Amino acid sequence: MSGTDDLLVEAAELAVEIGHAHPPILLDVRWRLAGPPGRGDYAAGHLPGAVFVDLDTELCGPPGPDGRHPLPDPAVLQAALRRAGVREGHPVVVYDGGDGMAAARAWWTLRWAGHRPVRVLHGGFPAWAAAGLPVDTDVPAPPPGDVTVRPGGLPVLDADAAARLAAADTGVLLDVRAAPRYRGEAEPVDPVAGHIPGAANLPAPEYVAEGRFPSVALMRDRFAAAGVTADQPVGAYCGSGVTAAQTVLALHLAGRPDAALYVGSWSGWLADPDRPVATGPEPER
């Protein structure tokens, strides 16, 4: 595994760090796809000193032709991060309700925005609580941060680039939704089931379980079985770019920091009715 020390942090390790003179900034990004918003969870108890940041309205743009969770407006994101006290070059730790998806999207967004020192609390809030570590209900008022959002820190695919990657013989586009959604048999969220022609299906539970990543060797095996090689381009998409951000994090852990995210994902792909929809099993490679 390459660079795991700047990607994940365990609860016990974080408990030590927040006792230091200059602790990391903690962002609570708890979120559920079908609601309700995570702010209620935050109010009921959060890591001491953590500030709540809303995935839907602050870390992502409003739903539209670019999908259900498009890239945020840089000015809106910068204002939210500064309100949360994020300072230029200062470490940040993000955590969610335990499945790791919202935290991964927050991690990805901050790195895309040019803020590199950000890690995910492995196992999220449940891991912290299970360790018997302190939980707070006070809402902190941190000094305003000075972070500057500089988009471009991580690679992004648009629809055309995703289509090219899916169709290429040298590279792979991973569709990490459940197999029935990929095959076109069921679609609980978006209006049409199916997948981008040429994409390979690797459902998220095959490389992460309940927000915790398995060994690097296992992740590399899973990605290799889906067609990911060490020297060819790789990208990922899901329904709206949240689960796929966790895929990108897993690929980073497995040694592929060049992995690209199709932020619009399936919801963005379907915004143009002229884009093709494939159904059925994976294509042969």
Map out the domains of the chain with their CATH numbers: 4-130 (3.40.250.10), 156-269 (3.40.250.10)
pLDDT in tens, 24-45: 999 999 999 888 889 999 999 9
User: Would residue 238 show up in a list of annotated catalytic residues for this protein?
Assistant: yes
Amino acid at the residue 126:
P
To the nearest whole number, what is the mean pLDDT of the chain?
Answer: 95
Residue whose structure tokens are 């992460």:
208
Residue 2 has pLDDT above 50, yes or no: no
pLDDT in tens, 162-194: 999 999 989 999 999 999 999 999 999 999 999
Q: How far apart are CA 242 and CA 245, in angstroms?
A: 5
Q: Who's near 6: CB < 8 A, 6+ residues apart?
A: 116, 117, 119
CA 270 to chain centre: 21
pLDDT in tens, 90-141: 999 999 999 999 999 999 999 999 999 999 999 999 999 999 999 999 999 9
Q: How far apart are CA 256 and CA 156, in angstroms?
A: 14
Spell out the SS3 assignment of 181-231: HHHCCCCCCCCCCCECCCCEECCHHHCCECCECCCHHHHHHHHHHCCCCCC
The residue from 202, 238, 253, 259 that is catalytic is 238
Taking the CA of residue 191 as centre, how many other CA atoms within 13 Å lie in the half-sphere pointing to its CB?
9
pLDDT at 211: 87
pTM of the complete model: 0.96
Token reading at 90: 């200062």
